[in-house]
Amino acid sequence: MNILVLGAGTFGTAIANELSVNTENNVILFSRSQQKVEEINTFQTNKIFFPNKQLNNNVKATNRKKDIKETDIIFIALPSSVIKQFFSDIKEYLPNNVLIVNLSKGIFKRGRTIIDYLKDSLDRNNIVTLKGASFAVEIMEHADTLLTLGYTTQKQYKTISNIITNTNIHIDSTTDIQGVELLSVLKNIYALLIGVIDAKYNSPNTRFMFLTKAFSDIRILLKAL
């Protein structure tokens, strides 16, 4: 399976490296930086983000848009702020049947999720979301990691299940793609706020009060969906 990971940052590099554990996967990182592409292809390193780590030998890199034409699955590991421009630039290179997997988190204007934008702008539906409480550093250490897959068809589910075979990535799943997209954004906000609360108050009572309120907000959101 030809897999292209858009974004050779911390998370994109970690996901690409773990997916390459499955030797049936041909994994390529896409970076616009020629210097980074050469570093990965020559030394199997990405020292800006992982100075002490060696990438698996079957992880390669490219910055050639034409290589997008040869891929079966595209993982998006880009900052949400650049996704619109990036896909505008590569749209003509996307294969008709490519499966797009969104790892990025964010909300656009008027509450549009990244999935909403991609489906509308690309005029295609073979798009899923994959989110979870995961840290790139631990993925690079091959720690067991559980992600939630939001999908539409059984074919999409089976494809993702196949490419994570023999890796330490595990999935639970739902057909509520919109819920996964929105809750992944809330998770980041809540995690940040809990960090602030712990630093300022160091109080279990205050932490649990905040979590209770957060869970209440999530229930309201899920009912609205």
Distance CA(30)–CA(90), nearest Å, equals 12
Distance CA(9)–CA(31), nearest Å, equals 9
Domain 2-175, what fold? Rossmann fold (3.40.50)
Ordered by start, the domain boundaries in the chain are 2-175, 180-224
Nearest CA-CA partner of 100 in 130, 120, 80, 79: 130
27 with 58: CB under 8 angstroms?
yes
pLDDT tens sequence for the chain (225 residues): 999 999 999 999 999 999 999 999 999 999 999 999 999 999 999 999 999 999 999 999 999 999 999 999 999 999 999 999 999 999 999 999 999 999 999 888 887 899 999 999 999 999 999 998 788 999 999 999 999 999 999 999 999 999 999 999 999 999 999 889 887 766 666 667 778 888 888 888 887 787 777 767 766 666 665
